[in-house]
Amino acid sequence: MAEHKSYDAKDIQVLEGLDAVRLRPGMYIGTTGPKGLHHLIWELVDNAIDEAANGYCDRIIVSLNADGSVTVEDNGRGIPVDIHPTLKISAVEVVYTKLHAGGKFNNENYAYSGGLHGVGASVVNALSKWLVVEVCRGGKKYSMRFETITKNGKVHGGVPVAPLTEVGKAIKSGTKVTYLADDTIFETVEYEHETILKKLRELAFLNKGVEIVFIDNRKNIEESQRCVTFKYEGGIVDFVKFMNESKTVLYDKPIYIEGERNGIKVAVAIEHTDSYTDNVFSYVNNIPTTEGGTHEVGLRSALTRVFNDLARKTGALKDKDANYIGDDFKEGLTAVLIVKMKNVQFEGQTKTKLGNPEAKNAVEGVISDGLVEYFSSNKTGKILSQILSKAEGAAKVREAARKAKEITRQKNALDGAPLVGKLASCTGKNVENNELFIVEGNSAGGTAKQARDRFFQAVLPLRGKPLNVEKKRIDQVLQNEEFRTIITALNAGIGEDFNLANLKYHKVIILADADQDGAHIRAILLTFFYRYMRELITEGHVYIGMPPLYKVYKKDVEEYVYSDNELDAAIERVGKGYGIQRYKGLGEMSNDQLWDTTLNPDARSLIRVSIEDAAEAEKMITVLMGDNIDARKAYITENADFNKVDNFKPTAAGK
């Protein structure tokens, strides 16, 4: 028993102001890693986007400044500057120092808003070393500065230096916020140029006609990338075209439908390609709903009902034929669905799944009416025939896949044939502790089987390079022996039959050599998981194992190095008389070396695979793994380092 200590009212700690945010930042921004750092930008950008979504703003500027600070500026109405009737301080100070304070809790000032909890601006302030707000409103310009200070040995964030002050005249209205993230809070304060660029481009697509400017004034940024402007008059139609740039489309112009039902605004752009997978990107008040929700159900219902009716009407389906199912019309579909509504109800804390039941009816009604009107024109007959022909082919493939799955299930039930001589399973029964290593080749597989901890680590060697599923139908995927083996080992099904509850291994770790073939195998496996077991990735079960590239050693000293950038530092630590061994493959490592560097949970490095941006992930997979050679060449030309020279020379210890 612990020693008894007094526990009285005096022991109850009350965190005042923004202290709670600094004490538990993860509660407000998710993490203090790179994702949380960028979340600060999105909080301020979301405020500007809400102004744009409600018709008050048409230009937003995001700047990364040379001193490490960030500026977000808009030409909206400007934050109110008058004195709050209850708190007796300016509205600007309220917004930046009080949690759960803002103008979005009712629908009077913002009919549609992504920021619902009133914590965004104040959280940014709390986690910054300093923050300056400039407001232009009513012909006047105002400014207020906040800083993190230390008082009586305690650190307090977001403290006002002085009240809001009028500093001049203003011709236009708007808000400009500049802040410097606190490096004592975040693991890194280095912003990623590409991450911000892609997010701002997506927001520009979703907000038709709004100009979003990204300025990066940091060192080592190419001149062509210092200022990038996004503005799309076509909105989500341009978004669909952008997503399909590397694909073969069945019709040139995406179908666009918009309307309003019961106060819910709906817009969708759809276009079919010759691919075998579908991609629906949905948003509610500019928030990406990566897990779907009731609005996506409404879209699916509308497509299924209207296209089946049109198939009957045109004779594509005869009286004796069964209706097509929703997946038949979704094959090859790229769709962007946006919904703007009040009183949004998201399922869970991550705002990734819409729960409002009224959204289904609104989306289904608007899109059904729009599709009927669109295809009532004689000019759209060819497009309809292409969509119905695509659905017919999908239905045939679906039936073939059903038979292939049934055969696979029967074989697995009888003798587990795909796993014979391949999977070295683990003995542990706790799925949450179990790990499956998918290893390249029998040589590496043999070493991994010997090196692993048999209680919780299983090993599945691949005997050959699997199919590139991006170019194959699901029935062809199911006929591939390597993929059948993976499906059987995981025990969670595939495609619409995938069920995470049946997963046998909590961690699925891809362990491939650090060379071109290994990288290709990783890409193929990740594409397979993304296309047919996406929940495996979104729920955080897929990892990349990181075997070392080098061993630097002398006498009784050895250090493993996992990247070229770390090599010089490791050599310096080992000191004179060092030797270097470079590992070309896992098979070159001994059992002990593989355990010490790659399999041992206490020492290894794993990269968890995640999808931060579904639209960007989709486009990247299409470019890298699809049929468009020109798009792949362009990407490689733009991103590859053709000037890199391999200067490695093996040395022996003592030389």
Cα–Cα distance between 454 and 404 in angstroms, integer? 33
Lookup result for tokens 């009604």? 365
Among residues 182, 482, 513, 596, the one annotated as catalytic is: 513
Whether residue 125 contacts residue 146, with contact meaning beta carbons closer than 8 Å, is answered with yes
Among residues 415, 517, 539, 564, the one annotated as catalytic is: 517
Q: Would you give the distance in Å from CA 632 to the centre of its chain?
A: 22
What DSSP assignment string belongs to 127-182? Answer: TEEEEEEEEEETTEEEEEEEEEEEETTEEEEEEESS--EEEEE-SS-EEEEEEEE-
Lookup result for tokens 């909590």? 506
Side-chain half-sphere CA neighbours of 424 within 13 A: 21
Distances in Å between the Cα of 394 and the Cα atoms of 330, 361, 483 are: 9, 27, 21
Which residues lie below 8 Å from residue 294, measured CB to CB, with a gap of 6+?
Answer: 354, 355, 356, 357, 359, 360, 363
423 burial type by CB count under 10 A (0-12 exposed, 13-18 middle, 19+ buried): buried
Cα–Cα distance between 409 and 404 in angstroms, integer? 9
Instruction: Return the closest-CA partner of residue 546 out of 576, 522, 580, 527.
Output: 522
Which residues lie below 8 Å from residue 604, measured CB to CB, with a gap of 6+?
Answer: 545, 546, 597, 598
Contacts 24+ apart (CB under 8 A), 588-597: 589/447, 589/547, 590/447, 591/447, 591/450, 591/451, 592/451, 593/551, 594/447, 594/448, 594/451, 594/547, 595/451, 595/452, 596/560, 597/547, 597/548, 597/560
Q: What is the 3-state secondary structure (H, E, C) of 163-178?
A: CCEEEEECCCCEEEEE
Largest CA distance in the chain: 85
Q: Is 440 labeled as catalytic in the residue annotation? A: yes
Residue 336 bridge partners (DSSP): 269, 281
Q: Is 513 labeled as catalytic in the residue annotation? A: yes
Cα–Cα distance between 225 and 215 in angstroms, integer? 8
Among residues 166, 187, 496, 515, the one annotated as catalytic is: 515
Whether residue 519 contacts residue 542, with contact meaning beta carbons closer than 8 Å, is answered with no
Among residues 238, 440, 482, 596, the one annotated as catalytic is: 440
- Write out the two tokens for 444: 């590496």
Which residues lie below 8 Å from residue 562, measured CB to CB, with a gap of 6+?
Answer: 546, 547, 548, 549, 605
Question: Do you know the residue count of the chain?
Answer: 655
User: At 214, phi and psi to the nearest 5?
Assistant: -115, 120
Q: Is 627 labeled as catalytic in the residue annotation? A: no
- Write out the two tokens for 474: 């699901």
Whether residue 152 contacts residue 49, with contact meaning beta carbons closer than 8 Å, is answered with no
Range list of H helices, 331-466: 357-374, 381-415, 442-451
Whether residue 525 contacts residue 438, with contact meaning beta carbons closer than 8 Å, is answered with yes
Which residues lie below 8 Å from residue 119, measured CB to CB, with a gap of 6+?
Answer: 28, 99, 100
Cα–Cα distance between 426 and 459 in angstroms, integer? 8
* Dihedral over alpha carbons 481, 486, 397, 618 (to 10 degrees): -120
Q: Is 641 labeled as catalytic in the residue annotation? A: no
Query: Which residues are part of the catalytic machinery?
Result: 440, 513, 515, 517
